[in-house]
Amino acid sequence: MTRELLTGNAAAAWGARLAEVDYVPAFPITPQTEIIETLATWFGEGTMPGKFVSMDSEHSMLTAAGAAAATGARVFTATSSQGLLYAAELLYTVAGWRVPLVLVNVSRALASPITLEPDHNDVLAARDSGCLQIHAETCQEVLDSILMAYRIAEDPRVLLPVIVNLDGFALSFTREPVTRPSLEQVRAFLPPYSPTHARFTAARPMAQGIAVLGGALYSFFRYQMHLAAQNARAVHGEVAQAFREAFGRRYGLVEGYRLLDADYALVMSNAYATRGKAAINRFRAQGIPVGLLRLRVLRPFPALAIAAALEGKKAVAVIDQNLSVGFGGITVAEVASALYQERDRPPLLSYIGGLGGKDLSDAEFDQILQDLQRNADTGHVPPPRLLYTEREDAQTTAFLEVAGKGTRHVE
Amino acid sequence: MSNEPKAYRNIKDLAREELILPGTPLCGGCGGLEVLRLASKVLGERVVFVNAAGCFTLLALFPYTPFRGSWLYTTMASAPAGAQGVRDALDILRAKGRLSPEEDLQVVVVAGDGSTYDMALSATSGTLHRNLDYWYLCYDNEAYGNTGMQQSSATPFGARTATTPGGAGGAVDGLLGKKDIFEIWRAHRPPYIATVSPRHPIDLARKFEKAKQLKGPKLFLAFAPCPTGWGYDPARTQAYARLGVECGLFPLKEAVYGEVTHTYVKRTWRPVEEYLRGQGRFEHLFEPVRQEALLHLLQEGVDRYWAGVPR
């Protein structure tokens, strides 16, 4: 066990190394590249036995990853943003192969306009693919989640790929203290991968990814994936318990922060939840009972855990660091679906914040709190809002003028 | 598998055993399937086929496959990358003692021309650059066959497809003729490239046998007459496979580390018209009016090719 400062990317690379992955097909993309550079170095110097291969695209990369996993190897790969979408066809395909590989996505907002900093439209575009999703807040959690991800994915009740998400820049390039377990400790937690369901050998020919005709067969196989993803909730619980016993750290499907006695709640995910927690501490210092619910496992969707955590709150604000154009926030709709059947469901306020890595300031959290309190007093639910400060608005207006686009067409 | 290359002198030297079993959903008279059947006799049963979307995808239809070996359907654009993953995993598992040598497999991509010439070109180039030890068999029926014969970049100049109703190429849509995929592959200097035809089984078997001795990419472009798409009676597949070669349109050749040898050369070739006639996709070259200029252009292309081949 070693404690040291690691970036989120380095923590991800250590996760793969400690899981003793056999194979890493890779393709560079900012802000993920440091992960594959680190792994390439380790494979090159022989500290990781197996093979690292530079592929010709993310589409090829994920095909090779899935095919190697279908042959019986433990596989790791990583991408970001455009890369994840370039590989989108394979997300669905390899999930259908039921291969338990782990893919790290380092979140970065999608083009257009092309940019570098994080939001979650990339990883949420993989939401319905059949890949499970764990979203990490800290560098420690990145490493831990990768180890947990292999054990969940390889469980015979699950057998689905897992995406572990971390925010670009906010986490990928941020150094935090990370406790790095020893290989022996990890071996005791994560048994070797030795599949029988997906494997190519001469003695036991197997057809994988085979075509079906007719909706009944197709429905059967796709719904099998859904049932397996449902199983992953309980499996996560078992794995989290084993992880806690082995390493002393505790992870749930969701994380409540000062939430139990709170009247109001913020719902957030990933690294920006740290900013949310800072705001909670500030409000608590003022004596205002606010807590935070962090969504950690997005697939399988932890509907019951969310409903239980938010039950009886006076008002809840969901901050979506994503935007479904023409709809609004993605997770607010999912949280609403988790609460709908509850008798005592709290009102939900919806905010879009942190798109493309936009900062979230104290003023914006203050505004949300004000809205929550007003709602509790008057029942008023404001329309979904984009979090945006006056200063940012002035800056944007100035840039629009420089670009000769002085007239704004937004209402 | 013995390392001693087997000599193929006549048809009796081919294995009698069938490794592609009959009763597949493919069309009767499929030239591509005949190539796969012949190639399998040389490759043996310790293979995993890695497939791209196309006609051959229907070979394995749950819960049946016609193979003795294994199968992995990937996507239209990434079968070679799938081969990379399978080959790498087999090598890793062997190196780590988790797979015994006798359990090892040869990895064989089977893809049509739509995948090969268009979507998967970049993925194929990647495997050639990485010198991946695998086989690639392209069954070239010169169009997107499985979707009902739309033009691909393997469609020859003048051929009618569902998306080139007036005939591909020329002034109509400004397209050039068929891409020269053999030369595109050859520019990478892989260990082995060959063209094969189902009507030349000994030539085909010799080439697969020769490639067995080489490590790295081994690519085969198979002439795949297609009764359904080309518009002729399925009984005539072998006749068209023969005419394609005899008219000089489909040269039988190989390239070992880039050095080209033609394996079937004649002093004179039969006129291309003999090949074109009777195929629905070229009917408009003869009816209602004979398209002399186009026919001349097609013959000229063949003549020009062979003029450049050293005798």
> Hey, is the C-beta of B90 within 8 angstroms of any chain A C-beta?
yes
ipTM for the whole complex: 0.96
B64: DSSP letter: B
Asked whether the predicted pLDDT for residue B297 surpasses 60, the reply is yes
B3 assigned to some structural domain = no
Cα of A196 to nearest chain B Cα, Å? 13
B28 alpha-carbon distance from chain centroid: 18
For residue B84, list chain A residues with Cβ-Cβ distance below 8 A.
Answer: 25, 53, 55, 60, 63-64, 67
Number of structural domains in chain B:
1
Portion of chain B with pLDDT greater than 90, in percent: 91
> Hey, is the C-beta of B205 within 8 angstroms of any chain A C-beta?
no
**Placement of tokens 């193979």 in the chain:** B67
| Pairwise CA distance, residues B141 & B117, whole Å | 12
CB A24 within 8 A of CB A32: no
A409 assigned to some structural domain = no
B1 assigned to some structural domain = no
Widest distance between CA atoms in chain A: 71
Strand order from edge to edge, sheet including A162-167: A76-79, A102-107, A162-167, A132-135, A297-299
- Of residues B174 and B16, the one with the higher pLDDT is B16
* Best mutation target, B49, B70, B121, to test chain A (most A CBs within 10 A): B70
CB A354 within 8 A of CB A319: yes
Which CATH number does the domain housing residue B102 bear?
Answer: 3.40.50.970
Q: Rounded to 10 degrees, what is the CA torsion of B11, B17, B21, B26?
A: -10
Which of A247, A265, A288 is the endpoint of a domain?
A247
Q: What is the pLDDT of residue A407?
A: 63
Task: Kindly state whether residues A203 and A273 are assigned to the same domain.
Answer: no
Which CATH number does the domain housing residue A376 bear?
Answer: 3.40.50.920
For residue A193, list chain B residues with Cβ-Cβ distance below 8 A.
Answer: none
Residues B21-35 have pLDDT tens digits of 999 999 999 999 999
Q: Which member of A53, A56, A69 has the closest CB to residue B123?
A: A56
Task: Kindly state whether residues A168 and A263 are assigned to the same domain.
Answer: no
Residue B3 — very low, low, confident or very high, per pLDDT cuts 50/70/90? low
A402 assigned to some structural domain = no
Q: Give me the domain span that covers residue A236.
A: 2-247
- Of residues A290 and B177, the one with the higher pLDDT is A290
Q: What is the pLDDT of residue B167?
A: 82
Q: Which residues in B99-134 are b (16+ Cβ under 10 Å) and which e?
A: beeebbbbbbbbbbbbbbbbbbbebbbbbbebebbb
Count CB atoms within 10 A of the CB of residue B311: 6
Task: Kindly state whether residues A351 and A237 are assigned to the same domain.
Answer: no
Asked whether the predicted pLDDT for residue B18 surpasses 50, the reply is yes
| Pairwise CA distance, residues B298 & A172, whole Å | 58
Q: What is the pLDDT of residue B52?
A: 98
A380 assigned to some structural domain = yes
CA dist A172 to A8, A165, A397, Å? 4, 10, 31
| Pairwise CA distance, residues A382 & A376, whole Å | 12
Contact yes or no for B71 and A210 at CB 8 A: yes
**Placement of tokens 């209602």 in the chain:** B288
Among B residues 132-191, those touching chain A with beta carbons less than 8 Å apart:
none
Count CB atoms within 10 A of the CB of residue A71: 34
B4 assigned to some structural domain = no
B213 assigned to some structural domain = yes
For residue A61, list chain B residues with Cβ-Cβ distance below 8 A.
Answer: 81
Cα of B254 to nearest chain A Cα, Å? 26
Residues A304-350 have pLDDT tens digits of 999 999 999 999 999 999 999 999 999 999 999 999 999 989 999 99
B77 assigned to some structural domain = yes
Give the mean pLDDT of chain B: 95
| Pairwise CA distance, residues A123 & A108, whole Å | 9
Give the E-state strand segments of B34-165 in sequence order: 47-51, 70-73, 106-112, 134-140
What would the two tokens of residue B268 be? Answer: 């004179």
B107: DSSP letter: E
Task: Kindly state whether residues A192 and A290 are assigned to the same domain.
Answer: no
Q: What is the pLDDT of residue A20?
A: 98
Report the pLDDT averaged over residues B285-311: 93
Task: Kindly state whether residues A312 and A383 are assigned to the same domain.
Answer: yes
Number of structural domains in chain A:
2
A401 assigned to some structural domain = no
CB B263 within 8 A of CB B207: yes
Phi and psi of B225, rounded to 5°? Answer: -55, 140
Return left, alpha or beta for B8; rule: phi > 0 is left, psi -120 to 50 is alpha, else beta.
beta
* Best mutation target, A51, A58, A210, to test chain B (most B CBs within 10 A): A210
Task: Kindly state whether residues A233 and A359 are assigned to the same domain.
Answer: no
Which of A194, A222, A247 is the endpoint of a domain?
A247
CB A74 within 8 A of CB A21: yes
CA neighbours within 13 Å on the CB side: how many for A343?
Answer: 0
Task: Kindly state whether residues A236 and A314 are assigned to the same domain.
Answer: no
- Neighbouring residues of A371: CB distance < 8 A, sequence distance ≥ 6: A317, A349, A382, A385
What would the two tokens of residue B269 be? Answer: 């070739």
Task: Kindly state whether residues A170 and A276 are assigned to the same domain.
Answer: no
CA neighbours within 13 Å on the CB side: how many for A38?
Answer: 19
Report the pLDDT averaged over residues B297-302: 92
A134 assigned to some structural domain = yes
Which CATH number does the domain housing residue A151 bear?
Answer: 3.40.50.970
Contact yes or no for B89 and A55 at CB 8 A: no
Contact yes or no for B70 and A50 at CB 8 A: no
A340 assigned to some structural domain = yes
Asked whether the predicted pLDDT for residue B175 surpasses 90, the reply is no
A297 assigned to some structural domain = yes
Asked whether the predicted pLDDT for residue B1 surpasses 60, the reply is no
Q: Which member of B61, B73, B93 has the closest CB to residue A209?
A: B73
Residue A411 — very low, low, confident or very high, per pLDDT cuts 50/70/90? very low
Which of A247, A270, A290 is the endpoint of a domain?
A247
Instruction: For residue A319, list its beta bridge partners.
Output: A351
Q: Which member of A56, A63, A194 has the closest CB to residue B82?
A: A63
Q: What is the pLDDT of residue B171?
A: 47
CB A61 within 8 A of CB A75: no
Residue B170 — very low, low, confident or very high, per pLDDT cuts 50/70/90? low
Asked whether the predicted pLDDT for residue B242 surpasses 50, the reply is yes
Task: Kindly state whether residues A339 and A274 are assigned to the same domain.
Answer: yes
| Pairwise CA distance, residues B77 & B112, whole Å | 11
A326 assigned to some structural domain = yes
* Best mutation target, A60, A76, A103, to test chain B (most B CBs within 10 A): A60
Phi and psi of A163, rounded to 5°? Answer: -100, 125
Cis bond upstream, residue A113 (ω within 30): yes
For residue B70, list chain A residues with Cβ-Cβ distance below 8 A.
Answer: 200, 205-208
Q: Give me the domain span that covers residue B303.
A: 11-307
| Pairwise CA distance, residues A42 & A51, whole Å | 10
Task: Kindly state whether residues A266 and A380 are assigned to the same domain.
Answer: yes
pTM of the model: 0.97
CB A310 within 8 A of CB A293: yes
Residues B210-241 have pLDDT tens digits of 999 999 999 999 999 999 999 999 999 999 99
Task: Kindly state whether residues A176 and A263 are assigned to the same domain.
Answer: no
H/E stretch holding A280: helix A272-285
Cα of B200 to nearest chain A Cα, Å? 30
Contact yes or no for A60 and B78 at CB 8 A: yes
Residue B165 — very low, low, confident or very high, per pLDDT cuts 50/70/90? confident
Q: What is the pLDDT of residue B176?
A: 67
DSSP-derived 3-state class of residue A7: coil
